[in-house]
Amino acid sequence: MGFATTLGRPGSGPESERGHGIRVLVVDDSLIVRSAFSRLIEQEEGLVLTAAVSNAEDALQLLVTERVNVILLDLEMPGMGGLDALPKMIQRAREAKILVVSSHAKDGAEATVEALSLGAADTLQKPTGGFDQAYREILVGKIHALGRKPLRRAAKSATTPETPPPALRPASRQRARVLAIGASTGGIHALGQLFGTLPRNLGIPILVTQHLPQSFNEAFRNQLQDVSGLPAVAAEDGQVLLPGRIAVAPGDAHLTVVPSHSEHVIKLDRRPAPSGCMPSVDPMFASLAMTHGASALGVVLTGMGRDGTEGAMELAEAGGTLLVQNEASSAVWGMPGSIARAGLASAILHPFDLAARIASAAGVGSA
């Protein structure tokens, strides 16, 4: 099997001509899309087009010999589809981050959520009205964020001494009575790892804010329910927090908690958040600082930006505990890294290990 469909020979010209950069592989059966993505990558400073191929079989063959940092993957292609190929790509290119760029990203919510749960780092809908400047900026921003070297790896290759790990904050001594989890880029895969390890008898309410369009919410809740073995419901105004139930923030509102008589209930907040995210982790954490204080446990998984940091400051000030995902296992160490560098985290761990810490904080044994 050759690379007759490749735009630009694998491993040739661009890197040697323009220097080292983020190496990108485009996998799409549309010649128009391959051509547009290839031009965009070749024109962008810091990006290198490794190859553009029309099918997953060629991509897998190329990954045997070529190193890539980011893969732009279509899901619907002749032969082996993107969903079938995705786990094989992750196995062959362990350091590569996969960005699903597909029409399925809007219309096929279940397929997209499945791709994200299998390990794709992020998703973006194919443009419907052409590759305008706004779309180019979004796509390029995602490629740069996913292809950025982890800080520790960059430090090891630099001449300056390695940055010391962030200081850890003592955890609350109170038993956790509510668990709130925030995530963004790469979060669905990390949530699968976390909930797949978390005991089902945790016995406390669980709140989840994942940056995701509203159209994906139902498919996302179904995926959470399958992996956790717990009911996962859409958060609604006035909904009582119940032990052993996962409440998921909608795509168009922040999930916050307020007191109501002797209970705590959900209040959806649609006001803009400082981070600009909708939904945002900040209002969720800030509300728990007021309602639960030292008995609140906040967890931040992989994600771009710093959403969650301001809310984490309020939660920490109220005596609550923050746990974050480590850099090595994160698709993007933006959100968890921001909290860790602020000295707010009591642990910086892989999602598997975070599950054990959560169980301990809730006063139950691990799974």
The C-alpha atoms of residue 70 and residue 299 are separated, in whole angstroms, by 27
- 186 closest CA partner among 347, 49, 356, 326: 326
Catalytically annotated residue among 28, 54, 172, 211: 211
The C-alpha atoms of residue 171 and residue 347 are separated, in whole angstroms, by 9
Are the CB atoms for 357 and 332 separated by under 8 Å? no
Q: 338: which strand partners?
A: none
- 24 closest CA partner among 101, 104, 133: 101
Residues 6+ apart with CB under 8 A from 94: none
> Quick check: is 211 catalytic?
yes
Are the CB atoms for 337 and 186 separated by under 8 Å? no
Are the CB atoms for 101 and 165 separated by under 8 Å? no
- 313 closest CA partner among 349, 281, 342, 278: 342
Enter the DSSP assignment of 91. H
Catalytically annotated residue among 38, 54, 117, 184: 184
- 193 closest CA partner among 118, 251, 249: 118
Catalytically annotated residue among 254, 307, 346, 353: 307
What letter represents residue 190's amino acid?
A
Cα dist from 311 to 53, 268, 271, 274, 318, whole Å: 43, 16, 15, 10, 11
DSSP string of 271-293?
Answer: SPPTT--SS-HHHHHHHHHHHTG
- Structure tokens given for 60: 């897998």
> Quick check: is 307 catalytic?
yes
Q: Give me the active site residues, please.
A: 184, 211, 307
